[in-house]
Structure 1
Amino acid sequence: MWRWIVVVALVVGVVAFGYDAFSRWRRHLTGQEPERFFVAPEEVPVANVEAVIASTDDRLAAIRALREQHPGLGLKAAADLIDAARGGRD
């Protein structure tokens, strides 16, 4: 019984490794840029922050909208950008 579990785990591991290697190889050949997982607050245009604030009066909705526009932006960074642009309004 244990031998089958070990065999299945090894097969799943080999298939997962092969899929990942093939995906990376294909992205390399096509020249696609790898996904970015982090967006620095400096990369967010001020116009985007001001547009989000103009679209809603709610602070939380503005943070949510900004993070939807820039998926790699962290929660704290988005909140800081919104607070700085709002000028301390509550």
Structure 2
Amino acid sequence: MNHQRPASIRELARSPAWTVTGSRGRWSTAERVLSLGSHHWVVGLTPTAGGATALMLWCDDEVIAHRRGPEAALCETALRWEANLLAGRPWDGR
């Protein structure tokens, strides 16, 4: 059994908690929606020009955080943010 964390959007899409959309074999967004208490959180990834990936975190329609970088690193960050929120910790782990 493979216990590795997803390192790509393709691998992240295998999780039923994540919604990945796209067309023609390309992904355009990956989102994880969390309704926690009175807040609605969305962790989202999208490709950008030049091959980078953008990672955003929204809370109640306000962008809380934004990062750009390699897909694998941002998948890891997205999963950390998700785990922190689900555990009741601050999203950034501080």
Same fold (TM over 0.5): no
TM-score (norm 2): 0.22
- Report which of the two structures shows the higher radius of gyration computed on alpha carbons: 1
Highest RCO, 1 vs 2 (Cα 8 Å, sep ≥ 6): 1
Higher strand share: 2
TM-score (norm 1): 0.23
